[in-house]
């Protein structure tokens, strides 16, 4: 292996990161054997959705919120809907709760399969991109695409369409799918069961690097289910809070090099996403998924950041197993939504987007219109941890490696978080000084 003087000047610039959602760059400089700058610069323009929502009727919120992200619209819709249902005092009935899990699992499956297949696997197998990988491993890539398509089918069943779905509303859904549509999807899910096991086993077998890190995992934990859209916010350092206490424990601040906010918990970075969920909720997985994980030789909790892809793969299997258990008992409801009376108030909610926990706070007036909205996505919450991860990974790897190897390592670390840079630029504080 080539080794160089670790005290040399290093100046690595990746002006546009590929195989991530949105637009960002990497700046990495080192002098005299020390890292000088190592930053993920998110330069995606601020999206300003929170401002767009002000003054809108509560019925419009799910449709506007969905536009924040083309990959994870359900996360934005579901979290905003539940925050507003908290204001209106709407408890979830079992049918609505089950269907919300189904559509959310669809989003996880399409997003996870896309990431593993097209973003992460080329890194681990040494290909420049998925097209190059597809020529060598066409069957593996095709299987991943088919699972992505199945995730989209799950989204369409309840959302009407897979991108910016329109089926969700405050109180439940606009439409209950007829039994024959559910039966068709159940058939597809049953047929995909072996496929997803093969896909997960393949993802777990990829030659992933070892990157042991000291980090705090944060995720939703539910008394009985794998934390997804209801429960408490917990960490492996003793956090156990109601969603409404989020603002007390988590604080955002701006940094000069990014249009995304940094988020800290008690002044420290924290980690969200599949590995954090698996670390905190392995015992809440269906036994079938726990057994499969053990068969694959996986152990959770894990401190190896690159186990994120294994956790993501297990969640693909979970999505199909749990959706089947819900839809195989499907009954048409009398009505797919619950009644409520709009009223003024403040509501908070968290759900688990594919990339990690997302927090929403809505304040509504007595006319049902939004007074203020806050939406904190997982990528901005992960940004401080990601940059710490970059520093530690580079220190472990060593500056004596060539620039190309250092750049590859940094890109792998960033992609491992599956960052959605477009979502992360959720708000920019503007200070106007007038003479």
> Which residues of the chain form contacts with another protein (CB under 8 A)?
18-23, 67, 70-71, 114, 118-119, 129-131, 134-135, 138, 141-142, 145-146, 148-149, 152, 161-164, 422
For strand 232-235 and strand 218-221, is the pairing parallel, antiparallel, or unpaired? antiparallel
- Pick 66 or 373: Cβ nearer another protein: 66
Query: What is the CB neighbour count within 10 angstroms for residue 422?
Result: 23
Closer CB to another protein, 15 or 247, in the complex: 15
Residues 6 or more apart from 169 whose CB is under 8 A from it?
59, 62, 81, 337
d(CA 54, CA 428): 16
Rounded to whole angstroms, how far apart are CA atoms 384 and 9?
A: 25
Q: Name the residue nearer to another protein (CB basis): 21 or 211.
A: 21
- 17 vs 90, which CB is nearer to another protein? 17
Q: How far apart are CA 271 and CA 260, in angstroms?
A: 16
Alpha-carbon distance 382 to 376, whole Å? Answer: 11
Cis peptide before 301 (omega within 30 of 0): yes
- Compare residues 75 and 364 and give the one whose CB is closer to another protein: 75
Closer residue to another protein in complex, CB, 21/225: 21
| CB closer to another protein out of 71 and 350 | 71
Whole-angstrom distance, CA of residue 56 vs CA of residue 67: 15
**Closest listed residue to residue 194, CA positions, set 50, 364, 324:** 324
d(CA 74, CA 91): 19
3-state secondary structure of 101: helix
Least distance (Å) between residue 140 CB and another protein: 10
Distance CA 415, CA 123 (A): 9
Residues 273/381, Cβ–Cβ less than 8 Å: no
Cβ burial, residue 296 (10 Å; 0-12/13-18/19+): middle
Closer residue to another protein (CB): 123 or 352: 123
Min separation Cβ 162 and another protein, Å: 6
- Across the beta sheet with 356-364, the strand order is 345-353, 356-364, 370-376
Closest distance of CB 21 from another protein, Å: 6
Whichever of 73 and 342 has its CB closer to another protein, that residue is 73
Question: What one-character DSSP code corresponds to residue 58?
Answer: G
Find the shortest distance in angstroms from Cβ 117 to another protein. Answer: 10
State how far the Cα of 141 lies from the Cα of 198, in Å rounded to an integer: 12
**Closest CB to another protein among residues 13, 132:** 132
Judged by beta carbon, residue 83 or residue 168, the one nearer another protein is 168
Mention every residue, 6+ apart, whose C-beta is less than 8 A from residue 416.
120, 305, 306, 308, 309
If you write DSSP's letter for every residue of 185-219 in order, what string do you get? HHHHHHHHHHHHHHHHHHHHHS-----B----BEE
Given the structure tokens 């969640």, which residue do they identify? 315
């Amino acid at each position: 292996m080539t080794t160089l003087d670790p005290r040399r000047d290093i100046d690595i610039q990746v002006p546009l990161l590929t195989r991530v959602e949105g637009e960002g760059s990497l700046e990495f400089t080192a002098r005299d054997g020390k890292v000088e700058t190592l930053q993920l610069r998110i330069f995606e323009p601020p999206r300003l959705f929170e401002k767009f929502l002000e003054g809108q009727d509560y019925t419009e919120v799910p449709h506007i919120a969905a536009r924040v992200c083309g990959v994870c619209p359900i996360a934005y819709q579901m979290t905003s809907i539940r925050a507003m249902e908290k204001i209106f005092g709407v408890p979830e009935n079992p049918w609505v709760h089950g269907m919300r899990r189904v559509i959310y699992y669809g989003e996880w499956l399409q997003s996870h399969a896309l990431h593993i297949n097209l973003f992460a696997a080329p890194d681990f197998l040494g290909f420049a991109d998925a097209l190059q990988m597809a020529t060598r491993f066409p069957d593996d890539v095709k299987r991943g695409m088919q699972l992505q398509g199945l995730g989209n089918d799950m989204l369409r069943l309840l959302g009407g369409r897979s991108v910016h779905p329109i089926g969700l509303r405050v109180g439940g859904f606009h439409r209950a799918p007829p039994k024959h549509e559910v039966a068709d999807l159940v058939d597809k899910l049953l047929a995909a069961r072996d496929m997803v096991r093969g896909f997960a086993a393949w993802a777990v077998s990829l030659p992933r690097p070892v990157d042991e890190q000291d980090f705090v995992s944060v995720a939703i934990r539910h008394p009985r289910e794998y934390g997804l859209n209801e429960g408490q916010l917990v960490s492996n350092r003793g956090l156990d809070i109601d969603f409404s206490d989020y603002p007390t424990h988590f604080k955002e601040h701006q940094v000069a090099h990014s249009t995304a906010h940094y988020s800290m918990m008690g002044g420290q970075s924290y980690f969200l996403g599949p590995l954090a969920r698996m670390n905190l909720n392995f015992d809440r997985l269906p036994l079938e998924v726990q057994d499969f994980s053990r068969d694959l030789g996986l152990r959770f909790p894990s401190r190896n950041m690159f186990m994120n892809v294994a956790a993501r793969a297990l969640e693909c299997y979970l999505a199909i197993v749990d959706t089947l258990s819900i839809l195989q008992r499907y009954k048409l409801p009398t009505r797919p939504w619950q009644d409520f009376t709009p009223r003024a108030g403040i509501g908070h909610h968290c759900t688990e987007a594919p990339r990690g926990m997302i927090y929403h706070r809505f304040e509504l007036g007595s006319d049902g219109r939004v007074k203020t909205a806050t939406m904190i996505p997982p990528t901005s919450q992960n940004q401080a941890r990601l940059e710490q991860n970059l520093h530690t990974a580079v220190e472990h790897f060593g500056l004596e490696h060539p620039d190309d190897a250092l750049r590859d390592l940094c890109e792998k670390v960033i992609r491992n978080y599956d960052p959605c840079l477009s979502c992360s630029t959720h708000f920019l504080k503007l200070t106007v000084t007038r003479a």
